[in-house]
């Protein structure tokens, strides 16, 4: 079963410095029938104006993955971590028992990100932060695990959830496949381009909520970049 969530129908807000679209209920956008997809709680599509951002604010008991589509985001937190994550790279914050952080676009151009929140398997624990480059050339034509709570995914950024965040770039006509557990919740969003997923067309920034599919066959209808979450 694949439920399409067209980009134009997503909730959202325009704060001037921040243009946000919400795949699930978030902040002032509230829909009790759209509170998440399994353990996936938030998928925000954010455009952040130059030299603006989110001032220091708290989080707890959430795995927060930031996928940078264009530009770069600069992170600072109450643990003393500082870092700049640029397009193609990924950062992960395990909020654990509690952390404060800020996220700013210090670049001269708009930064565009996906921010993905996944509920952890257990609450509490020491908060952590990390970032890693994932060159798009290394994931051309194949799904690469970017963040994972499974020990076998040694090259991925660690998260405290039985989930995976994967990414790929596909040239027009290329196909990637993913073996899915039918009991799990999958969510796919093209950052650019358009794809066909088991016969369903998914355009740039649309969401596809997937259940009860044993295999995903993803075919690029044009040059595409996409992110897939596999969660409990």
In angstroms, the Cα distances linking 47 to 34, 35, 78, 111, 216 are 22, 22, 25, 6, 29
Q: What does R_g of the chain's alpha carbons equal in angstroms?
A: 17
Domains of the chain, with CATH numbers?
2-231 (2.60.120.10)
Between vectors from CA 98 to CA 93 and to CA 102, what angle results, nearest 5°?
A: 55
Note the pTM of the prediction, 2 decimals: 0.97
* Per-residue confidence in pLDDT tens, the chain, 232 aa: 999 999 999 999 999 999 999 999 999 999 999 999 999 999 999 999 999 999 999 999 999 999 999 999 999 999 999 999 999 899 999 999 999 999 999 999 999 999 999 999 999 999 999 999 998 888 999 999 999 999 999 999 999 999 999 999 999 999 999 999 999 999 999 999 999 999 999 999 999 999 999 999 999 999 999 999 999 9
Q: What is the pLDDT of residue 136?
A: 86
Number of C-beta neighbours around residue 26 at 10 A: 23
Q: What is the pLDDT of residue 121?
A: 97
What is the tens place of the pLDDT at every residue in 153-185?
999 999 999 999 999 999 999 999 999 999 999
């Amino acid at each position: 079963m694949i439920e399409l969530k067209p980009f134009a129908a997503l909730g959202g807000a325009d704060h001037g410095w921040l243009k946000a679209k919400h795949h699930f209920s978030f902040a002032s956008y509230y829909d009790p029938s759209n509170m998440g997809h399994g353990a996936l709680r938030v998928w925000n599509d954010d455009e952040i104006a130059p030299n603006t951002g989110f001032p220091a604010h708290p989080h707890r008991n959430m795995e927060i993955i930031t996928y940078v589509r264009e530009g770069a985001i600069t992170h600072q937190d109450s643990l003393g971590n500082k870092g700049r994550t640029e397009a193609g790279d990924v950062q992960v914050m395990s909020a654990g028992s509690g952390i404060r952080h800020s996220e700013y676009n210090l670049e001269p151009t708009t930064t565009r990100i996906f921010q993905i929140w996944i509920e952890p398997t257990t609450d509490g624990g020491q908060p952590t932060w990390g970032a890693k480059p994932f060159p798009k050339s290394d994931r051309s034509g194949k799904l690469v695990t970017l963040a994972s709570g499974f020990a076998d995914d040694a090259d991925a950024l660690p998260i405290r959830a039985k989930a995976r965040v994967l990414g790929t770039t596909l040239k027009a006509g290329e196909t990637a496949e993913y073996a899915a557990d039918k009991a799990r919740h999958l969510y796919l969003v093209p950052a650019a381009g358009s794809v066909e997923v088991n016969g369903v067309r998914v355009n740039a920034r649309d969401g596809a909520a997937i259940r009860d599919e044993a295999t995903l066959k993803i075919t690029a209808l044009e040059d595409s970049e996409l992110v897939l979450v596999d969660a409990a």
